[in-house]
Amino acid sequence: MQQILTAKRVAVVGLGLSGLATVRFLLSKGVKPVLMDTRKQPAGLEQINPDKVDGIYLGELDANRLAKMDLIIVSPGLSIKHPALRFARLQGAEILGDVELFARFNTKPVVAITGSNGKSTVTMLVEAMLQQSGIKAVAAGNIGLPVLEAIAQPTTEVFVLELSSFQLETTTNLHTLASANLNLSADHLDRYTDMAEYAAAKAQIFRHCQLAVYNADDRLTQPAASQAVLAISLNAAANGYGIVQLQQQPWLMVAGEPLLPVNEMSLFGEHNQFNALVAAALALAAGAKQQAIAETLRTFKGLAHRCELVAEVAGVRWINDSKATNVGATLAALAGLRGSVTGKIILIAGGDAKGADVSEMSAALQQDVQQLITLGQDGPAIAALKEDSKAVKTLQQAVRLAAELAQPGDMVLLSPACASLDMFKSYADRGEQFAKAVKELK
């Protein structure tokens, strides 16, 4: 593969985290790529020695230059529908992503996870379950560590990859021990024509897998191929996975055996019970031990900005779910948390809905949310779904208002159902500002 690669004219388009990792990987293989980015000053470009590459072109993509390439490795942040990329493809250029390049060089077992919501939690759970079993596992991909940096770690025994639809749409040769599609909800419809196109991109994760794990309650996650499949639902344990009543309390059933009582899990909420079952199935496929899986579920700390308890102040729990950047994520949080709240839920929501239909939240807002506080670009559309909602201009105002409205036993939940970039640097910045504002209440 390396000899074939060095004989090709290669371009890397998009110089973000994964793009720069791709450049470094290509340089290590003796390839001298052309670099392009639509931004005038991409951060981190100074890490690359310009003498080592075959030119750096910033700003509007040069379609004619791209058309001269044999191979174009595109950042997941750039749509492959971009006119310059479509033109290059028509001229014979092959367009792929860093995950496809990883797949062509990788020789180690892979477990892969996608879905609109919960994929980071499942990815980190699988990594932890394998490590607890004595297997050297590394989580990479959409979760932060670029796959082409992960592949350079020689001691890795299993790669656990979180993959977005953007990464999957440029991936055709990834072979996995097991792959999971957790759920599909309206997201990225500013980039995809409709849900069918979005679902088709996600379905790529099952293209070459030995075990396809999917959500029995979400038909859009079901694989079309005829490989071994495992459907998981909280409501049924016929296939050995689910929630069962034992000793007058709910237990996780994994591979036909009771694993542990639900109340011993460190994560809370029904959505995390589902995540735990999927992670267990994937980890078992990669060689994990039942005892190690149970221990992981007892001790796993959870991920920042994902239904994270920030503080309990005067009997009120403040939950940071800033990673809920689409409607489905917020609905999952509400469904998962409602049973653990004795008082009312005060929801803070709003931001950039990315073209999604926020009216899908209407029923949950009526049933599960007692007070709604909105902000951001699409805050008014969400506010219109519930009477007596309150609009604010800043997250700090939202926190102060929620504190005035909250009583002991209540939960204040930041679960925006929207992206953050209309007001914040990232969902993490949004979550950190929320946590800071909450701590200033004390």
Among 106, 117, 142, 272, the one annotated catalytic? 142
Among 106, 183, 188, 272, the one annotated catalytic? 188
- Please check the confidence at residue 369 and state whether its pLDDT lies above 90: yes
Among 119, 202, 354, 386, the one annotated catalytic? 119
Domains observed in the chain:
8-96 (3.40.50.720), 101-299 (3.40.1190.10), 308-439 (3.90.190.20)
pLDDT of residue 156: 97
Q: Could you list the beta-strand ranges (E) of 93-237.
A: 94-96, 110-114, 137-141, 158-162, 175-181, 208-215, 228-232
- Please check the confidence at residue 25 and state whether its pLDDT lies above 70: yes
How far apart, in whole angstroms, are the C-alpha atoms of residue 148 and residue 73? 12
Consecutive H or E run containing 298: helix 290-299
The CB density around residue 195, as the number of other CB atoms within 10 Å, is 14
pLDDT of residue 4: 66
The mean per-residue pLDDT over the stretch 82-111 comes to 96
Q: Active site includes 8?
A: no
pLDDT of 279-315, one tens digit each?
999 999 999 999 999 999 999 987 778 888 888 888 9
The mean per-residue pLDDT over the stretch 413-430 comes to 94
How far apart, in whole angstroms, are the C-alpha atoms of residue 32 and residue 236? 54
The mean per-residue pLDDT over the stretch 114-141 comes to 96
pLDDT of residue 187: 63
Q: Active site includes 263?
A: no
pTM of the model: 0.80
Confidence class for position 439, pLDDT limits 50, 70, 90: very high
- Two tokens at 31? 């390839």
pLDDT of 225-243, one tens digit each?
767 899 999 987 778 999 9
State what percent of residues in the chain have pLDDT above 70: 97
- Please check the confidence at residue 167 and state whether its pLDDT lies above 80: yes
Closest CA to 401 of 416, 418, 417, 389: 389
Contact 34, 54 (CB under 8 A): yes
The mean per-residue pLDDT over the stretch 59-77 comes to 95
The CB density around residue 386, as the number of other CB atoms within 10 Å, is 19
Coil/strand/helix, residue 176? strand
pLDDT of residue 3: 58
Q: Active site includes 188?
A: yes
| Neighbouring-strand partners of residue 96 | 73
